[in-house]
Amino acid sequence: MRPFQYTRPDSLTHASQLSGDDGAMLIAGATNLVDLMKLQVETPDHLVDVNPLGMAEIEDTDDGGLRIGALATNTATANHARVRSDYPVLARAILAGATQQLRNRATMGGNLCQRTRCYYFTKPEQPCNKREPGSGCGAIDGIARLHAVLGTSDQCIATYPGDMAVALSALGATVQIASADGGERSVSVRDFHLLPGDTPWRDNVLQPGEVIIAVMLPPPVEGRQSYRKVRERSSYAFALVSVAAIVAMEGDTIARADLAFGGLAHKPWHDPRLSDLLTGKAPSAALFDEAADLLLQEARGYGENDFKIPLARRTLAAVLAEATETEI
């Protein structure tokens, strides 16, 4: 590991100012960044440790939603009484990720900012446009089993690896962000992560000096919530495909269908056309097929990950069938 400066700022403003400098990076739970530093994938000159800043409260909001501080651990969030009762899709998604030890350290903000687990990204001797712009993408003609089938570019086909943000996307959460000039902004979690395009080194919309301060959940809605994660083994593995769903029925028709997908793209994938298609219709195998057609219209496999396209279709159908109690 290379030498670096380490600072524990005593205010949010100080943290923002320090982290805006070239070569500076924020650190919270240290469950991803330290691994990447050991591999020489990340080589910050200055680590700004935000742990002294508090920001770990989980509290009700005036509109009936929930504010989860950026430094609330994944364990604290998944175990929180209101998360378990009103936002079970979030609790389930968090508990489907990593291990208990990692969840005890990992934070809301850090989880959102975790980096891809692409094999080439973590090997400095391999080509990777995300790690070293212009060096090429080893995965496109190489090891691509975990890689994306939606929203890819000829620069990068990596997936966003997390589970928690997939549930947050289905819930329509927003991310509260502070900047170095003392201002704040809110970004929908659906817009927080970026597609690779021509700038695959950018994972999300954060600018230098910006610090995530909280995640805001809207008031809870009616409906069954579920998170289904398909992976190579039953624990400590990233999603091949995952589906977060909030589905409500009114009589024999679907009254609400908020869906988001993991394992398919460089960001949690949310396609508002699915909700439009499903809402107001009677659930059936044919309707679920139509939804999968829409979801996967632009899907493209890269050899090793071709299987994800039919897997996403089947996983979506299974989730919708369970939520609507429909035989398929």
Interaction of residue 156 with ligand SF4, rule CB under 6 A = yes
Number of residues counted as binding ligand SF4 (CB under 6 A): 14
Interaction of residue 139 with ligand SF4, rule CB under 6 A = yes
Binding-site member from 12, 37, 50, 158 for ligand SF4 (CB under 6 A):
158
Distance CA 295, CA 243 (A): 12
**Distances 227 to 180, 214, 243 between C-alpha atoms, Å:** 36, 22, 6
- Nearest-approach distance from CB 155 to ligand SF4, in angstroms: 6
CA angle 288, 91, 233 (to 5 degrees): 70
Tell me which residues in 185-204 interact with ligand SF4 (CB under 6 A): 200
Binding-site member from 50, 90, 128, 247 for ligand SF4 (CB under 6 A):
128
Interaction of residue 129 with ligand SF4, rule CB under 6 A = yes
Interaction of residue 116 with ligand SF4, rule CB under 6 A = yes
Residue closer to ligand SF4, measured from CB, 32 or 129 = 129
Q: Residue 180: CB partners within 8 Å, gap ≥ 6?
A: 13, 16, 17, 20, 209, 210
From the list 20-28, 82-90, 112-120, 235-243, the region that binds ligand SF4 by CB under 6 A is: 112-120
Rounded to the nearest 10 degrees, the angle between the axes of helix 164-171 and helix 88-95 is 160
From the list 115-123, 168-176, 292-300, 316-324, the region that binds ligand SF4 by CB under 6 A is: 115-123
Helix (H) or strand (E) holding 82: helix 81-86
Any idea of the CA torsion for 144, 151, 207, 13, to the nearest 10 degrees? -80
E-strand spans in 141-271?
A: 174-178, 184-188, 211-217, 224-231, 239-250, 253-262
Query: Which DSSP symbol is given to 22?
Result: T
Tell me the CA end-to-end span of the chain in Å, nearest whole number: 54
From the list 67-75, 76-84, 124-132, 239-247, the region that binds ligand SF4 by CB under 6 A is: 124-132
Binding-site member from 50, 137, 259, 312 for ligand SF4 (CB under 6 A):
137
Interaction of residue 174 with ligand SF4, rule CB under 6 A = no
From the list 54-62, 135-143, 226-234, 306-314, the region that binds ligand SF4 by CB under 6 A is: 135-143
Interaction of residue 160 with ligand SF4, rule CB under 6 A = no
Which parts of this chain interact with ligand SF4 (CB under 6 A)? Answer: 116, 118, 120-121, 128-130, 137-139, 156-158, 200
